Amino acid sequence: MRVKTPILFVLTGLFLSLQLNAQSSDLSEPEFLKYQNSKWVDSIMKKLTPNERIAQLILVAAYSNRGEEHKQEILQLIKEQKIGGLIFFQGDPETQAELMNDYQQAAEVPLIGAIDAEWGLGMRLDNTISYPFQMALGAIQDDDLIYNMGEEVARQVKRTGLHINLAPVVDVNNNPDNPVINYRSFGEDKQNVTSKGIAYMKGMQDHKVLTTAKHFPGHGDTDTDSHYALPQINHPMERLDSLEMYPFKELIDAGIGGVMVAHLDIPALDSTGVPSTLSKPIITGILKERLGFKGLIVTDAMNMKGVTKGNEPGVVDKKAIVAGNDLLEFTEDVPRAIKEIRNAIKAGIITQKEIDARTRKVLAVKQWVGLNNYGPTKTEEIVEELNTPNAKLLNRKLVEASLTLLKNENDLLPLNELDTLKIASVSIGAKDETVFQETLSLYTAVKHFQLPVEAKESEIDSVKEELEKYNLVIAGVHDQSKYPRNSVSISEELQEFLEELSESENTVISLFKNPYVINKLDEIEESPVLIEAYQDSETTQEMTAQLIFGGIGASGKLPVSVGEKFKMGDGLETNPINRFKYTTPEDAGMDSSILYPQVDSLMNEAINAKAIPGGQILVARDGKVVMYKSYGLHKYSDTIKVKKDDLYDLASVTKISSALPALMKLYDEDKFDLNAGIDDYLSYFRNSNKAGVPFRQILAHQARFKPWIPYWKNTLRNNGSYKWNTFKKDSSARFPVKISDELWLHRNYQRKIFRAIKKSPLEDEAKYKYSGLVFYLLPSIVEEITGEDFRSYINKNFYDKLGATTLTYNPSEEFPLNRIVPTESDFFFRHRPIHGRVHDEGAIMMGGVSANAGLFANANDLAKLMQVYLNYGEYAGQRYISEETLKEFSRTQFPDNDNRRALGFDKPNLEYQGEDNNTAKDASKYSFGHTGFTGTMVWVDPEEKLLYIFLSNRVLPTRDNTRLYKLNTRTKIQQVLYDAIKE
C-alpha cells in the first residue's frame, strides 16, 4: 500500500529546500553506522520478532533509589517486552551498576544504557562529580578543556555500565527568561555554542560514548518549560535556519552520533501545531532529508507535558516513531506503545522496513559501544574510581577558567600591598561562614560577616556599622537554590544594602549566581570590582577567593549579554602573581594516592604512639599548596581538635623566621657584614672573647660558642625559691616582663642574659657545634642597625606584606587561647602548664621576643615566608631579599670542615646517614630549612620547588617524650613527598 504524502509536508519541504544551506560534501557520518549490516547485527535481527524489533526502539526510565518493587517492574519489561534499553535517573553509582548488571543478565539482547548527564554523573547520581553548568563552560576560552571534560565524563559514564549521554545542550540561549535551558546552555553566541558543543561531543565520542545534541531544532528562545506545557517559537524560517539550527547543522557535519528532538510548537516549520517531537516535516523533512542526519534520533522524555497533552501513553510513542524518531525516551506504557506502532505498520502509516532500519541503527550503536562483547560492570571501588584525583582536578581547572572579571577599576585585583589593607568580608544570602570566606582567610586577616536571605534591617545596620572600620569590603552574593536560576531570593533590604556596597570606592563583589541576575540587581555594575562566578559550588567559592588574591588569574568571557549592563564577550584578564594557589597534588605533578594516605598513616602512627597529641602538615610544590591538614588534639587529655588556623610554638624555627630575614635584607642594603662580629654592632661585646668572630662563622655554628646557657637557674636560691630581686608575683614598673600570670621578671634581667653570653667560655676547637647564644642578641643588633623596634621592623618588612598575620610573638596578646596549641607542663621553672607563651626558658626571660625561639604561627602563614626563601627572595610579585643573598645564606659554608650548615639555615648531612639522617634521603643538596625542639620542621628544596612544614607539640606534657625522634616521623613524611613526585 502506497502512503499518501500530505500536501503540507510537500510544501514545507519545498520551502525548506530554498531556505536551508546545502550540506557540505565532507559531512562526517556517525561512526556506528558502519555496523548497521554487520554479522552481529544480522544475527540479532534474525532472532527478533516484529514486536521485539519495535521494543528495541524503547528506553524505559530506571532508578537506583526506588527499591525492589521498581527493580522487579523493570525486569518484567526486559523479560516480557524485550525493551532495547534503559535511561537512568536518580540514585547512586554502586546500586546503578549492580542493577545494570542484573538487567543485562535478564536481557536476551544487551541493553543500551543512557543517562542525562549534561554536567556529569552528578546531575543524576549521588557521590559523583558535578562539573560546571554549561553557562559557566561557555565562559571558558580554551575549548581543549571542554574536550577533556567530555573524555572524563565518557570514562565515568562507561564505568557505571552505561553507553549514551543525552548531551550536550546546543540550544542558543537568547532569552534570559528561559526557564528550562538558561544555565544549561553554553550561551547566546551560536559560534561559541557550536565550538563548545563539538568539543564536548568529540571528547565523549572519541571514547565510545554516544552523544545527542539537544534540543532540536532549538529550545533557547522560549519562556515556557516543556516539562509542564508546550512552548511556542514564533520566528521565521530565516532566523531559525541561521541561529537556532546552526549548532545542530555544525555538529551533524562534525559527526555527532545522536540528536534529541524537543517538544516545541514551531509554526514556521510545521503549522499544524503538533510538538516537534511528533512532527514528520521537522524530523524527517528537515533533520533527516535537508540536514542529511543519518545518526540516532532520540525523543525528549515522552512523559513531559509538552508532548503528552492530548496524547495518551503509547499513542504518543507511535506518533513519535511515525514522525521519524529512532529511540523513544521514557516510554510510560511499553505494551501499548508496541501495540500502537504495530497497528501503524498494519495501517501502512509506517512500514516494517522502516522499523527494521531503525532497529538496525540501535543495534549498530550497541555494537559500536561494545555490547556485542558484553561483560558485567565491576562494582567494587566504583565511587573511588569515579572520583579520581584527575577528575577532581579537571573540575577545578574548568571552574578556574570560567571565572569572569567584569569590572576591575584601578587594577585593584589581584589584591596587593596587603599591609595597607584592612579587609572585611560579608556573605549575602548565607547564615554561616562560607567556603569563600574561609579561603579568603588563607591569604591574610579578614573579618567575616554573614547576612542571611531574610536578614532584618537591624542586622544589616549592625554589619554596615562594623564595615566602616575597614578600607576594603569583599562581598559574596550567594544562591539559595541548587541550580543558578535567573532569580533573586534575597530581600529588598539586602538588595538595597548590596546597592550601597556597589557604590562604595573599595568594594569587591563576587556573584555566585546566574549572570542574568546582574540585570535584576540595581547598581551592581557600579561596583569597582565585579566577578561573575556563575554558580555557588564550594569549588567555585574557593577558586573565586584565590582569584581575588592572585593565586590564579581571570580569563573567562561572559557568554551572554546582560541587558544594557554588560555585553556577551565582556571579561577582563588578570595573571596570577605567584601567591599561593591552593589546589590538588596532581596540579603540581604529585600523586595524591601516595601523598595523602602515607602522610595520614605516619601522622596517625605518631599520635597513636603518643609521640605527639596532634599537628599540622603543609606541603607546597611550585607555589601550589597541595596538602594543608590538621591532625589530632591540642592535648592528650582534652577534646579540642587541632584546626588548620591554630598557632604552634615554632621553637628554633624562629631562628630562620625572625632575625635571619632581617639580616638578609640588611645585607642586601650593605648595612650588615658577614665578616663583621657582634662587637661591630653591640659595643658591649668589644672587650669579650667573642669580639672579632665573624658572623659567617657564628651563623654557620662554627664560632666555638657554647650550645646554650640555662639562664633560669641563676634566678634560684639553693632551696629552689626565686631570688627576691629577680621575680615578683605581680607586675610593676620594676618587674614588667611577664613569665606567667603569677611570675614577673625584673626589667634589667636581659642585661644579665647578655652578660652571661659575653662571659661564656669558647669551645677549644673551631668546628660545627650548634649554638643558640647569638640568636638572643640578634633582635638588639637589628634594632641597632635600623633604629627601629625589632618586632615592628620584621612585621613591616615581612609578615604584614606577606599576609602572615599569625606569625607573631606572645600570641596570647592577640589570639584567644583556644587557637593556641599548648606545650610543656613546666615543673622545674614556671611550675605550670605553658599555654600561649613561648616554651623556651631563655626566650620567655627575654619577654618572649628572641631570635632563638618565641615565634608562633600556623603552618599556612609560616609557609608564606618559607616560599620567599624557596623563590630565592620573591613572593606575590614582590621582592623581599635578593636572589644572590638568599643563595649565599642557604649554601653550605664550611664543608671542608665537615660542617653542613648554611648561614642560619640547616642543610642535609654532607653524607647520607640512613635513619639517623637529618632529612629525607632524596632531599637535594640545595635544600635547606630548620627543626625545632617542640617538634617542628620546615624545609624547602629549590631543585624540586618543594616546601614542607611539620608543626607539633611533642613536648606536651614533658620534654622527655622523645618518641617523635625515635619514630623519625618528620623525615619519613618528608621522604613521602619525594616519593609522591611524578616523574
Whether residue 58 contacts residue 337, with contact meaning beta carbons closer than 8 Å, is answered with yes
Report yes or no on 299 lying in a domain: yes
pLDDT digits (tens, 9 = 90+) for 814-866: 999 999 999 999 887 888 999 999 999 999 999 999 999 999 999 999 999 99
Domain holding 175: CATH number?
A: 3.20.20.300
* Average model confidence (pLDDT) across the chain: 95
| pLDDT score at 616 | 98
800 domain residue, yes or no? no
DSSP string, 650-687: -GGGHHHHTHHHHHHHHHHTT---TTS-GGGT-GGGTT
Does a structural domain hold residue 744?
no
Same domain, yes or no, for 598 and 573? Answer: no
Summarize pLDDT for 176-211 with one digit per residue, the tens: 999 999 999 999 999 999 999 999 999 999 999 999
CB 209 within 8 A of CB 163: yes
pLDDT for the residue 142? 98
**What span, in angstroms and rounded, lies between the C-alpha atoms of 893 and 699?**
10
Is 3 inside a domain boundary?
A: no
Q: What integer pLDDT is reported at residue 839 of this predicted model?
A: 94
Domain end position, chosen among 354, 370, 386: 370
**Mean pLDDT calculated for residue range 281-287:** 98
Asked if 419 and 326 sit in the same domain, the reply is no
Which one-letter amino acid corresponds to residue 392?
Answer: K
Same domain, 565 and 595: no
Distance between terminal CA atoms of the chain? 70
Distance CA 920, CA 472 (A): 44
Q: Do 349 and 474 fall within a single domain?
A: no
pLDDT digits (tens, 9 = 90+) for 745-754: 999 889 999 9
Question: 201-205, 635-639, 667-671: lowest mean pLDDT where?
Answer: 635-639
Task: Output the pLDDT for position 481.
Answer: 84
Q: Would you say residue 752 lies in a domain? A: no
Residue 647, domain member (yes or no): no
Order of strands across the sheet that contains 507-511: 404-408, 529-532, 507-511, 472-477, 423-428, 446-451
Which domain does 631 fall in, by range? 582-639
320 shares its domain with 407: no
How many domains is the chain built from?
Answer: 3
Joined grid coordinates for residue 70:
521498581
244 shares its domain with 125:
yes
pLDDT in tens, 873-893: 999 999 999 999 999 999 999
- pLDDT recorded at residue 23: 42
Helices in 739-897 by DSSP H: which ranges? 749-759, 773-786, 790-794, 800-802, 841-845, 859-870, 883-889
- pLDDT at position 799 is 98
Q: Are 111 and 76 in contact (CB under 8 A)?
A: no
pLDDT at 7: 40
CATH number at residue 419: 3.40.50.1700
**In-domain check, residue 666:** no
Q: Are residues 189 and 60 in the same domain?
A: yes
610579585: which residue's cell?
877
pLDDT digits (tens, 9 = 90+) for 591-630: 999 999 999 999 999 999 999 999 999 999 999 999 999 9
Q: pLDDT category, 26, cuts 50, 70, 90? A: low
Given the C-alpha cell 532472532, which residue does it identify? 47
pLDDT in tens, 100-146: 999 999 999 999 999 999 999 999 999 999 999 999 999 999 999 99
**Paired residues of 113 in beta bridges:** 86
Instruction: State whether 488 and 356 are in the same domain.
Output: no
Residue 25 above 90 pLDDT? no
In DSSP notation, 506-520 reads SEEEEE-S-GGGGGG
What pLDDT shows up at residue 16?
45
Asked which of 332, 352, 370 is the last residue of a domain, the reply is 370
Domain boundary among 530, 545, 577: 577
Q: Which three cell numbers stand for residue 441?
A: 582567610
pLDDT at 903: 98
Indicate whether 333 and 420 sit together in one domain: no
Residue 515 included in any domain: yes
Say if residue 61 is in the same domain as residue 120.
yes
Please give the Cα distance from 446 to 171 (Å, whole number). 42
Tell whether 139 and 287 lie within a shared domain.
Answer: yes
For residues 589 and 573, membership in a common domain is answered with no
